[in-house]
Structure 1
Amino acid sequence: MSLHAAAATSWQAERRRAFLFGLAPSLVVLLAITLVPAVALLVASLTPLSLTDPVATFRFDDPLVNYRHLLEDTRFLGSVVTQLKLSVSSVALQVGVGLGIALLLHGPSRILAATRAAFLIPMVLPPIVVALIWKILYTPDISPLHRAAEALGLPFSSLIANPGTALWAISVADTWQWFPFTMLMVLAQLQMVPQGPVEAARLDGANRWQVFRFIVLPHLRPVLVVCALFRLIDSFKAFPLIYVLTNGGPGTVTEVTNYYGFVQAFNFSFWGYASAIAMVILAGVFALAALVSRLGWNPHHEHR
């Protein structure tokens, strides 16, 4: 090996070492705030931990008992179905509404820029504030929405008190808060759509739908997948809306999995069982994220 090559190798090694030393503090903090709680949650899920039986904290005589009970718990299985309904409906609405509004607001106009800024307001509001806003809108006695419907001769009952509409009402509230995320991401991607193919397609006689379908949409597809992935993960955190709007009701119609875990932990003090529910949610989020990512970035689809 020449002297020059040896010096280059030594410099690369020193660079990697310096990089690792610089990154180490951040990695330690990241592990402390993510890995340690996750391990504690996993350990708790393997015990019959309960506030009424503190001795059970370190009892591992039957570590899978909580998970076996989950398979037999019809209320838990029902909460999983409810969670899937809420996640699918809210993510589909957020991506669809965000895409549509982004296409409408795409342009250099100052009025459009001001409108885009106004649409971002729901996304920056605290979730509890959003829940209170929609609680007012869904409460017939004080809701301007119900007052307007009555004035038009179209009165209707409370959407969050009706078992047939309660879950969809939560989905609408969640969409109102988070469709600006998709809108913002799509607007950013629209700025990078090449205009050459668009102009060429128009000269060839393509209409607006054809331009969007065959030129614009393929460029937007990756960012739409990212938006769906992030919103799918966040859809498992719709706790404030459910807690304020319906408290899991009517009955258990809007009792999603994380809310059921909350009930088990704080209403019944079954912390071990609630930890098992949390671990199942965590595994489900990872599985859904992997599935959406694989479907979204399939190379065979990209080159069609």
Structure 2
Amino acid sequence: MSGAFRGRSRAYLAGLLPPLLVLFFLTVAPGIFLVATSLTPATPLRPDSLLDFSDPFRNYFEAFADGRFLNSLVVQAKLSVATVILQIAIGLGLALLLNARDRWLEFMRSAFLIPMVLPPIVVGILWKILYTPEISPLHRLAEFSGFAVPSLLAQADTALVAIVIAETWEWFPFTLLILLAALQMIPDEPIEAAIIDGAGRWQIFRYVILPFIFQALVVAALFRLIDSLKAFPLIYVLTGGGPGTATEVTNFYAFQQSFNYANWGYGSAVATLIVAGSFALSMLVGRISRRDFDEA
């Protein structure tokens, strides 16, 4: 019996070893290298700086004293809050409208998923065309209607709004998908009982539907909050972080420090802080998901 158990254990280990090695070399090893680099003043201008650990926390102290880094956190917070709220609101509204078994509605659901499956660079190019007055059909239509619409991307006050619109359009299908699945899991009996008791549509939504889908709302919001930290492609294509630093979010700032200014150590420290924030949010999602599973 023990021999068979040992043989089965070896078979499991042999099956797990290849994916574990791939995971290590693609995720763990780069993560270790990122953290190690963040503890050095690494720059290609000084090859020996990659092994200089004499002042390991200098980059982190500099980051929290860096006004541009702090500004990137504010810009990131504005972008994240605005996009998450809009994506949840639009996703929930459409999920309520599409929550029925009908062929036409099934076709509409599939059509709404198109923005989410497009490559981010393609989405960026699409919105770059729409935001460029010289070639944008929306600007031409506005001019034909007698309205002069300036370029949203060229104004510091509206550039971030333009990013929020594009990001929301690309990712609201994600929240739509999660919330639609949650709505379709609601049993019919509570809704039918509420209708018999004379409840209106708002009362049914507030006291019957919302409690059933609340956990799905929280999980969808947290997932989108985590993903909003990766809004790099849109910003790179549309604004390049400008005008000025109006759309310079934290990951774009890390990119600029690492590749434009060759401050590898400082850029790695900023990237490490982003990873730590993403990890904390992921842990929160995991706790909420486990609690939801236990309650179910």
Q: TM-score, normalised by structure 2?
A: 0.92
**C-alpha deviation, 1:286, in angstroms:** 2.2
Asked if 1 retains the 8 angstrom alpha-carbon contact of 2:190 and 2:208, the reply is: yes
Q: Who is 2:92 aligned against? A: 99
**C-alpha deviation, 1:287, in angstroms:** 2.6
Q: In the alignment, which of 245, 249, 254 is matched to residue 256 of structure 1? A: 249
State the AA in 2 paired with 1:273. Answer: Y
Asked if 1 retains the 8 angstrom alpha-carbon contact of 2:219 and 2:288, the reply is: no
Residue 127 in structure 1 maps to residue 117 in structure 2: no
- d(CA) in 1 for partners of 2:115 and 2:134? 24
Q: TM-score, normalised by structure 1?
A: 0.90
- Give aligned pairs, total: 294
Q: Who is 1:81 aligned against? A: 74
Q: Who is 1:280 aligned against? A: 273
Q: Who is 1:177 aligned against? A: 170
Q: Who is 1:70 aligned against? A: 63
Q: Who is 1:222 aligned against? A: 215
CA deviation digits over 1:267-303, x for unaligned, max 9? 111111110010011111223344566678878xx89
- d(CA) in 1 for partners of 2:246 and 2:237? 15
- d(CA) in 2 for partners of 1:31 and 1:219? 39
CA deviation digits over 1:144-175, x for unaligned, max 9? 11122222222221111111111111011011
Percent of aligned pairs with the same amino acid = 56
- d(CA) in 2 for partners of 1:260 and 1:87? 16
Question: Superposed, which structure 2 residues align to 1:1-304 within 5 Å?
Answer: 19-291=12-284
CA deviation digits over 1:29-72, x for unaligned, max 9? 22222111100001100111101111111111111111111121
Asked if 1 retains the 8 angstrom alpha-carbon contact of 2:223 and 2:285, the reply is: no
State the AA in 2 paired with 1:233. Answer: I
Residue aligned with 2:153, SS: coil
- d(CA) in 1 for partners of 2:264 and 2:114? 37
- d(CA) in 1 for partners of 2:99 and 2:288? 27
**C-alpha deviation, 1:248, in angstroms:** 0.6
- d(CA) in 2 for partners of 1:20 and 1:186? 38
- Listed as ranges, the gaps of 5+ residues in structure 1 are 1-6
State the AA in 2 paired with 1:99. Answer: L
Residue aligned with 1:160, SS: helix
- d(CA) in 2 for partners of 1:193 and 1:233? 27
Asked if 2 retains the 8 angstrom alpha-carbon contact of 1:225 and 1:293, the reply is: no
Residue aligned with 1:28, SS: helix
Task: Mark the CA change 1:279 to 1:156 in structure 2 (over 3 Å): closer, same or farther.
Answer: same
- Listed as ranges, the gaps of 5+ residues in structure 2 are none
Q: CA RMSD in A?
A: 2.2
